[in-house]
Structure 1
Amino acid sequence: MSSRAPRAPSPARSAIRPARCPDGTWETASARAHPRLRPGVIGYRGFRLALPEPRARLEAPIGAVTLMLGFHGSIRITEATGGWVGVGAKGGRSGEHRANGEAARPAGLRTAELSSVLSGMSTTPVLGEHDGHLAGVEVLLTPWAAFSVFGTPLHELSGWKVHPDELGALPSAAVAQLAHELGELPSWRVRFRWLDATLERWLESGPHAARGTVQAWYTLTHSGGAIPVTRIADQVGWSVRHLENRFREQIGLSPKAAARVLRLQRARRLLCAGSTQAETAAACGYYDQAHLSGEFKALTGCTPREFFLARGVRVDPGGPPGTDRLAGEATSLVLRRAPRPGSAHYSKTGGHH
């Protein structure tokens, strides 16, 4: 599926919000997708970094699919289970560090280095790293829209990150070609318009998610993951088993697993807004504060206290703004490697990716 000569959507798109560093070491731009693509395609975030040192970023699971189209540089992605990255604590979980201060990785963790990355819904946090030089565009999609765009069962994405062209549903190198074309265009505005047109065409040509899947997804998201799966199945007129099969194919996780991600996403938002852990646990339907803390560590790799203390640590006053993947959500921490081995801190302000 070539991305050449896409048909342009009709006018009326959102304004682009740019941000640039005076010395030119970074720039970002974000915009909502064209109205005709919403709510399936949520929006775009462009970035170009030329930073003096590497960056590492911890990403918590979210209720969306992310397509990163890279046109300069690559990202190394590693599973971040078990707290080995050392959020909020010197020396990390294992206490072992390399000479450069980087936390030693436990053996057996999956790692991949990719220029473009497709991240489906997952219950596993990941660490993304690059050398400080990176450029591309992130596209944020609802899971059911990603099913239509890529034409492949989304359970193939759950739990890991892949190059989108490896899925095999689109003709060979379609995404790699699109990323190259975006890199050749003169401005973020033109790139976002190109994405609008290309994604519209891919959505039209791909399989459509079942109406019941979309309805069930929004019922689950609007409840913050709190509504019982049996009630959702009743509302859409399906058996629980049929709902589970549809979610696995068109969302990527089972309804219960998706609810875990959405509930913790809501909990992070409430904690970030100033709610106590006890208040948040009660509001989000956890049994108690210990239940919340356990789920938080299982899905994020650290405790609530470690996560939000780390978000208050400033990494680099001159660096790019720490934009979370979802607007209004607390999704990410940026790693700072101190000069002294054994020191690792995270912050939301240290830069993209």
Structure 2
Amino acid sequence: MAVGTPHARLRPGVLAYHGYRLSMARPRPRLELPDGVATLLLSFAGNPVVVTSPTGAFEQREYTSMIAGLRTGPRLGTHDGRLFGMDITMAPWLAHRLMRVRMDELADVGLDPAEVAGRWVERLRDRLAEAPGWAARFAVLDEELTARLTEDAAPASVPDRRVVWAFQTLAHSGGRVRIGRLADRLGWTDRQLQKRFRDGIGLPPKGVARVARLQHAMRLLEEGLRGAAVAEECGFFDQAHFNREFRAMTGLAPGKFLEGRRSAEAATRSGGQVDRVQGEVTSLLL
């Protein structure tokens, strides 16, 4: 496993680079939880990842490479134990500009990135695969992403700064800011705000707020707060409402989530990678 920090000119939109070369004796399932980032996954060896929905939201799909946006439900990824590739985590508004696609087309499951960005993705994957090591690959990413983001792009793919502000405000508040208040601050109707979020973020504002609130709740659970206290702190009606929402978004009860995170901590100590984004709860290794 290797982790790289994007060049300062790419931040804060591009969050991190992750490289991996795995050879395990058995399949390794990973439960991906709703988070506030988009992910571009590029495979160098062509080993597939099978993606399913624990809650039955979509049918099983198989990918080698994938670009995935925001989602409000979990997905389970399983591979045969052998992977060689990289992923790039980024803010959804940056992925909108990079991939030049409406972000609601990438919500929940994702697409093959070659179908979205064509030859640019194929060239990027080839350059990364041929580079002599992780440091060289991180340098290639800095170069290629900078070039892509400085090219002239269609106006529709350039993120609106007001949308970026509204998204960041919702995320930093743990989903507690009222959507109507955001629209008023921006001088938009609720319909205008929702359309701009679908295009540039992928989820409507209420969906972003749900993910932010879930992330806040999961961090509080890991800090040792009990369910009733978490429900009150995060603005749920009561603990029963919190439990229902938690299960709907993760496929797990809060107690099962904590058991899985303890196992994930052990994997981290033994050299595995669990969370792909600093400060967010993104995964469980099963």
Q: Is 2:200 the counterpart of 1:250?
A: yes
Corresponding residue for 1:50?
23
Q: Is 2:221 the counterpart of 1:271?
A: yes
Q: 1:158-205 deviations in whole A, cap 9, x for unaligned?
A: 1212111222xx3x3432331222111111111111101111122223
2:89 to 140, 150, 158: 140
Deviation at 1:47, TM superposition (A): 0.9
Residues 272 and 330 in structure 1, CA contact (< 8 A), matched pair in contact too: no
Q: Secondary structure at the match of 2:76?
A: strand
Corresponding residue for 1:328?
279
Corresponding residue for 2:130?
184
2:38 to 65, 70, 75: 65
Corresponding residue for 1:302?
252
Count how many residue pairs are aligned between Structure 1 and Structure 2: 280
Q: Secondary structure at the match of 1:148?
A: helix
Q: How does 1:1-353 map to 2 (within 5 A)?
A: 28-72=1-45, 73-81=47-55, 109-167=58-116, 170=117, 172-205=118-151, 206=153, 207-313=157-263, 320-335=271-286
Deviation at 1:277, TM superposition (A): 1.3
Residues 274 and 282 in structure 2, CA contact (< 8 A), matched pair in contact too: no
Deviation at 1:319, TM superposition (A): 5.5
Q: Which runs of 5+ in 1 are unaligned?
A: 1-27, 83-107, 336-353
Name the CA distance, whole Å, in 2 between partners of 1:46 and 1:316.
17
Deviation at 1:218, TM superposition (A): 1.1
After TM superposition, the score normalised by the length of structure 1 is: 0.76
Q: Secondary structure at the match of 1:325?
A: coil
Name the CA distance, whole Å, in 2 between partners of 1:317 and 1:230.
41
Q: Secondary structure at the match of 1:232?
A: helix
| Structure whose alpha-carbon radius of gyration is higher | 1
Q: Which runs of 5+ in 2 are unaligned?
A: none
Name the CA distance, whole Å, in 2 between partners of 1:131 and 1:173.
28
Paired letter, 1:200: T
Name the CA distance, whole Å, in 2 between partners of 1:114 and 1:279.
40
Deviation at 1:268, TM superposition (A): 0.6
Greater shift in the superposed pair: 322-331 or 153-162: 322-331
Deviation at 1:137, TM superposition (A): 1.1
Residues 78 and 126 in structure 1, CA contact (< 8 A), matched pair in contact too: yes
Q: 1:131-172 deviations in whole A, cap 9, x for unaligned?
A: 1110111101101001000111001011212111222xx3x3
- CA separation of 1:317 and 1:119: change in aligned 2, threshold 3 A: closer
Paired letter, 1:286: F
Name the CA distance, whole Å, in 2 between partners of 1:159 and 1:224.
20
Paired letter, 1:43: A
- CA separation of 1:318 and 1:330: change in aligned 2, threshold 3 A: closer
Corresponding residue for 1:341?
none
Q: 1:85-131 deviations in whole A, cap 9, x for unaligned?
A: xxxxxxxxxxxxxxxxxxxxxxx951222111111101121110111
Q: Secondary structure at the match of 1:66?
A: strand
Question: Aligned residues: percent identity?
Answer: 41
Name the CA distance, whole Å, in 1 between partners of 2:32 and 2:268.
21
Name the CA distance, whole Å, in 1 between partners of 2:198 and 2:109.
15
Residues 116 and 176 in structure 1, CA contact (< 8 A), matched pair in contact too: no
Q: Aligned-pair RMSD on alpha carbons?
A: 1.8
- CA separation of 1:215 and 1:48: change in aligned 2, threshold 3 A: same
Name the CA distance, whole Å, in 1 between partners of 2:256 and 2:41.
28
Deviation at 1:302, TM superposition (A): 0.7
- CA separation of 1:323 and 1:316: change in aligned 2, threshold 3 A: closer
